[in-house]
């Protein structure tokens, strides 16, 4: 208790110090413009505005009169304050600022060798964006402000324009909380922190409480991030998604993300009616096509007839089917529909699966740390748990919590719990129940995301020695245990084969060949030419960055493959963007350390299967489907899990409080920090259909919070 009390006392003192530092940063640094503009002498320019006013006296920018020009200023201009009326419709506006100064007698712009004044985004819902800082050369003569862009909801009302306006003080709670979390994590995981002296095995009660607290924080942050993208959530109340609220219920659900995103809900309704095809009638032109899987031909007929079809569904024998894994529909949608008569909100399913994944990852790591590696500290545990949870591609699935993300998220959740239950069974005197539960989870993965079945190969190194080498399989007890390992696979396989046969007349056809997608899957085939671009994009392509928040841009992609390449926007390969994976090339010497500690090759076998399966999974995705950012979740977990095992081995081999140990902790901390920062920034990259697109006027507040110096 003395060691725990000392650690807790230092943690609380550290929290208090970090809290004070965060207050100072928020007050002084992040409000630097408040202090820099205190001495400004504000000049009102309203007298030169040549715009019509409304009955309330506000100036109106219209489609035909959307610029303001000011002459003979002859003043040093440090900033412009565009005072937009608060209560007008919220929108993000783009203004073009031009001026003359002592170095330019005329308005200047971008040339072959110079960059002119960039256009500036101003939100009617963000007062901070209304202050525009200028950097002219000497005094400004003339100033021109023009509202540009095609998607402007006119009229835009302006209360006034001034120059050299003092900025108000603003305490941003979200920015303060982010600063506090970042600084406190740096404090906790510093190389000499006492968190590395608290052993998982030696202090079981204290460390479990600390791990639970960390998990609670992770679940809260992930939930907040998912719910922030409210346009994709499909849940409404009086205070959340008010426009879709039914005005009567405390909470109601509604269809979000368009008709095509309701496939699981349509499948649940079809199952309730006693059939497996969707209750949507395909257009006659689709049923008459010789090859309905040719997208180019479909597009031509859709354009000619004006009749649309359900994209990304399996089309077979005149009916639409869902080719995504059926298990999420059975777990979430069908029970919800039978009880409420409403469609289950997909985003909530993604959130539930993400929470289950976080809990499963933590339980699995805890099992390894307490029972297979005796010297894991609380610091090392959390330092590895955080990237395993956040960097596995799952946060991107949470960013877009659609029916595309749900089966992948469910597959990962089932996988980690299946591995955990297997590990519990390996150390149990009565393992049959644990084995059956683990195998059931692993088998259900096939009904979610069939590709993730490769994680089941981990069973070979886990059970080979016990049941084959030691020949326990040939004993009555061993035979029963082995049957419990296999039986759930057979049960789930029978169910899935019946499901496939009932839809397509073939027990092994999951419907991918009948998918109405961007390419003709039955005729796509396999090609070696796709391998090199996939390896580059998925693994080693550096991220593209710039100097504006969130600093990450879509990666440039090009290929010499003379065929069709299916690709959506991606943001760099995992080995270039997640430095924590740089431990993998050092696996051989680290595994040698393990061999010196243990005579078995179980961990080496698990690591080998994880790495090989990860590479194979990425190539399989590229060959069969394409290069997409959400597919990173298919294989990132495998590499990160291998890194966790390698880091546990290194930690076990190095003596405590030894110089190489501190170097290892420091290195690991830096690699993890860079990896997590990349993933978090990726979550805020503006993309079509996300919060930044639908609520761009509100997203600008996030930009202003982090670009506090502008």
pLDDT greater than 60 at residue 3? no
Residue 261 has φ and ψ, to the nearest 5°, of: -85, 5
**Residue 319: its pLDDT value, please?**
95
**Residue 48: its pLDDT value, please?**
95
* Overall average pLDDT of the 50-61 stretch: 94
pLDDT band at 603 (very low <50, low <70, confident <90, very high): confident
CA distance 116 to 504: 60
pLDDT greater than 70 at residue 96? yes
Length of the chain: 710
432-444 helix and 476-504 helix, angle to the nearest 10 degrees: 20
**Residue (of 281, 285, 280, 314) closest to 299 by Cα position:** 285
**Residue (of 33, 152, 42) closest to 93 by Cα position:** 152
E strands, 389-430, are none
The SS3 assignment for 19 reads helix
629 Cα distance to chain centroid: 9
**β 92-99/120-123 pair status:** antiparallel
Residue 518 has φ and ψ, to the nearest 5°, of: -80, -10
204-228 helix and 378-390 helix, angle to the nearest 10 degrees: 20
Q: Tell me 222's DSSP state.
A: H
* Overall average pLDDT of the 393-414 stretch: 96
683 contacts 399 by C-beta, under 8 angstroms: yes
**Residue (of 74, 238, 82, 51) closest to 140 by Cα position:** 74
pLDDT band at 243 (very low <50, low <70, confident <90, very high): confident
439 Cα distance to chain centroid: 28
Q: Which of 6-15, 19-28, 242-251 has the lowest mean pLDDT?
A: 6-15
First to last CA, the chain: 50
Residue 672 tokens read as: 């993890």
520 contacts 293 by C-beta, under 8 angstroms: yes
| Mean pLDDT taken over the chain | 92
Positive or negative CA dihedral for 595, 601, 606, 609? positive
Q: Strand pairing partners for 157?
A: 60
ω into residue 155 within 30 of 0, thus cis? Answer: yes
pLDDT in tens, 172-229: 999 999 999 999 999 999 888 889 989 999 999 999 999 999 999 999 999 999 999 9
User: DSSP letter string over 428-444?
Assistant: -SS-HHHHHHHHHHHHH
11 contacts 188 by C-beta, under 8 angstroms: yes
User: DSSP letter string over 79-123?
Assistant: EEEEEE-TTSPP-EEEEEEEE-BTTBSS-----SS---PPPEEEE
412 contacts 453 by C-beta, under 8 angstroms: no
pLDDT greater than 90 at residue 600? no
H/E run at residue 574 = helix 574-577
Q: Which of 44-48, 353-357, 558-562, 644-648 has the lowest mean pLDDT?
A: 558-562
pLDDT band at 417 (very low <50, low <70, confident <90, very high): very high
* Overall average pLDDT of the 381-408 stretch: 96
> Pick the residue with more confidence: 529 or 121?
121
Helix ranges (H only) for 237-294 are 263-272, 284-288
Residue 398 tokens read as: 């949470």
Give, in degrees to the nearest 5, the angle at Cα 464 between 458 and 467.
130
The residue behind tokens 């937009």 is 84
358: CB partners within 8 A, 6+ apart: 215, 218, 219, 222, 389
Residue 376 tokens read as: 């894991």
Percent of all residues in the chain with a pLDDT value above 90, rounded to a whole number: 76
Q: Strand pairing partners for 143?
A: 70, 99
287: CB partners within 8 A, 6+ apart: 318
**Residue 597: its pLDDT value, please?**
66
**Residue 654: its pLDDT value, please?**
77
Helices and strands (H, E) in the chain, number of each type:
25, 15
**Residue 655: its pLDDT value, please?**
75
User: Per residue, what are the HEC states of 652-682?
Assistant: HHCCCCCHHHHHHHHHHHHHHHHHHHHHHHH
**Residue (of 83, 75, 72) closest to 48 by Cα position:** 72
H/E run at residue 691 = helix 691-694
* Overall average pLDDT of the 132-155 stretch: 95
User: DSSP letter string over 515-561?
Assistant: B-SSS-HHHH---GGGHHHHHIIIIIPPPEE-SSTT-EEPPP-----
163 contacts 81 by C-beta, under 8 angstroms: yes
pLDDT greater than 70 at residue 4? no
pLDDT band at 7 (very low <50, low <70, confident <90, very high): low
CA distance 49 to 57: 12
**β 251-253/131-133 pair status:** unpaired
**β 92-99/143-148 pair status:** antiparallel
* Overall average pLDDT of the 257-261 stretch: 73
Task: Please state, in angstroms and as integers, the Cα–Cα distance from residue 203 to each residue in 8, 9, 200, 367, following that order.
Answer: 13, 16, 6, 15
CA distance 25 to 34: 13
pLDDT in tens, 665-697: 899 999 999 999 999 999 999 999 999 999 999
CA distance 106 to 75: 16
CA distance 144 to 101: 12
Helix ranges (H only) for 156-314 are 173-188, 204-228, 263-272, 284-288, 295-305
pLDDT in tens, 455-501: 999 999 999 988 998 888 999 999 999 999 999 999 999 999 999 99
**β 43-44/120-123 pair status:** unpaired
CA distance 581 to 540: 11
pLDDT in tens, 98-135: 999 999 999 998 888 898 999 999 999 999 999 999 99
**Residue 531: its pLDDT value, please?**
87
* Overall average pLDDT of the 630-638 stretch: 96
Q: Tell me 59's DSSP state.
A: E
173-188 helix and 696-706 helix, angle to the nearest 10 degrees: 50
pLDDT greater than 70 at residue 520? yes
pLDDT greater than 60 at residue 621? yes
575 contacts 640 by C-beta, under 8 angstroms: no
pLDDT greater than 80 at residue 235? yes
CA distance 433 to 22: 50
The SS3 assignment for 203 reads coil
pLDDT in tens, 219-228: 999 999 999 9
pLDDT greater than 80 at residue 159? yes
Q: Where does residue 393 fall: left (phi above 0), alpha (psi -120 to 50 degrees), or beta otherwise?
A: left
Q: Which of 60-64, 263-267, 269-273, 532-536 has the lowest mean pLDDT?
A: 532-536
**Residue 659: its pLDDT value, please?**
75
């Amino acid at each position: 208790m003395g060691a725990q009390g000392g650690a807790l006392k230092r943690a609380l003192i550290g929290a208090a110090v970090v809290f004070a530092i965060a207050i100072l940063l928020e007050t002084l640094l992040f409000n630097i413009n408040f202090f820099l503009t205190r001495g400004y002498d504000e000049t009102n320019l309203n007298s030169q505005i040549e715009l019509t006013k409304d009955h309330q006296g506000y100036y109106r920018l219209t489609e035909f009169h959307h610029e303001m020009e000011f002459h003979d200023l002859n003043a040093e201009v440090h900033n412009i304050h565009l005072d937009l009326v608060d209560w007008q419709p919220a929108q993000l506006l783009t203004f073009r600022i031009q001026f003359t100064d002592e170095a330019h007698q005329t308005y200047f712009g971008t040339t072959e060798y110079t960059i002119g004044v960039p256009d500036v985004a101003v939100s009617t819902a963000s007062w901070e964006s209304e202050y525009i800082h200028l950097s002219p050369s000497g005094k400004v003569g003339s100033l021109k402000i023009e509202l540009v862009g095609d998607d402007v909801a006119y009229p835009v009302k302006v209360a006034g324009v001034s120059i050299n306006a003092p900025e108000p003080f603003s305490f941003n709670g979200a920015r303060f909380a982010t600063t506090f979390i970042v600084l406190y994590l740096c404090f906790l995981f510093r190389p000499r922190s006492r968190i590395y002296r608290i052993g998982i095995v030696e202090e079981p009660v204290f460390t479990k409480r600390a791990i639970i607290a960390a998990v609670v924080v992770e679940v809260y942050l992930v939930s907040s991030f998912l719910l922030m993208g409210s346009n994709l959530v499909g849940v409404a109340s009086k205070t959340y998604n008010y426009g879709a609220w039914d005005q009567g219920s405390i909470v109601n659900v509604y269809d979000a993300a368009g008709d095509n995103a309701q496939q699981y809900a349509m499948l649940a309704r079809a199952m309730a009616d006693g059939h497996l095809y969707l209750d949507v009638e395909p257009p006659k032109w689709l049923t008459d096509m010789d090859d309905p899987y040719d997208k180019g031909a479909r597009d031509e007929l859709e354009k000619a007839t004006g009749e649309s079809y359900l994209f990304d569904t399996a089309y077979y024998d005149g009916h639409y089917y869902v080719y995504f894994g059926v298990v999420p529909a059975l777990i979430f949608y069908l029970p919800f529909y039978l009880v409420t008569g409403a469609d289950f909100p997909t985003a909530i399913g993604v959130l539930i699966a993400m929470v289950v994944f976080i809990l499963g990852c933590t339980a699995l790591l805890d099992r390894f740390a307490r029972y297979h590696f005796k010297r894991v500290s609380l610091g090392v545990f959390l330092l590895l748990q955080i990237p395993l949870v956040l960097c596995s591609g799952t946060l991107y699935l949470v960013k877009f919590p659609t029916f595309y993300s749900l089966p992948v998220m469910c597959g990962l959740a089932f996988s980690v719990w299946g591995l955990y239950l297997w590990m519990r069974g390996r150390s149990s005197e009565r393992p049959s129940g644990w084995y059956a539960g683990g195998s059931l989870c692993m088998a259900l993965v096939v009904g979610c995301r069939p590709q993730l079945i490769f994680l089941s190969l981990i069973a070979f190194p886990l059970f080979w020695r016990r049941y084959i080498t030691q020949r326990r399989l040939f004993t009555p007890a061993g035979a029963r245990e082995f049957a419990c390992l296999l039986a759930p696979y057979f049960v789930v396989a029978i169910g899935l084969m019946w499901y496939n046969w009932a839809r397509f007349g073939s027990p092994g056809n999951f419907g991918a060949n009948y998918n109405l997608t961007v390419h003709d899957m039955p005729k796509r085939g396999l090609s070696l030419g796709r391998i090199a671009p996939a390896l580059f994009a998925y693994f080693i392509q550096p991220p593209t960055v710039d100097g504006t928040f969130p600093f990450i841009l879509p990666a440039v992609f090009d290929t010499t493959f003379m065929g069709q390449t299916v690709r959506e926007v991606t943001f760099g390969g995992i080995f270039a963007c997640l430095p924590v994976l740089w431990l993998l090339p050092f696996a051989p010497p680290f595994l040698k350390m393990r061999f010196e500690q243990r005579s078995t090759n179980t961990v080496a076998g698990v690591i080998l299967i994880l790495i090989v399966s990860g590479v194979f999974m990425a190539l399989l995705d590229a060959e069969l489907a394409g290069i997409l950012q959400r597919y990173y979740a298919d294989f990132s977990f495998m590499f990160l899990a291998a890194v966790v095992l390698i880091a546990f081995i290194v930690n076990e081999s190095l003596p405590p409080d030894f110089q190489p140990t501190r170097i290892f902790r420091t290195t690991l901390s830096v690699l993890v920090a860079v990896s997590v920062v990349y993933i978090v920034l990726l979550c805020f990259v503006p993309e079509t259909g996300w919060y930044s697109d639908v609520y761009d006027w509100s997203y600008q507040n996030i930009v202003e919070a982090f670009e506090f110096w502008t």
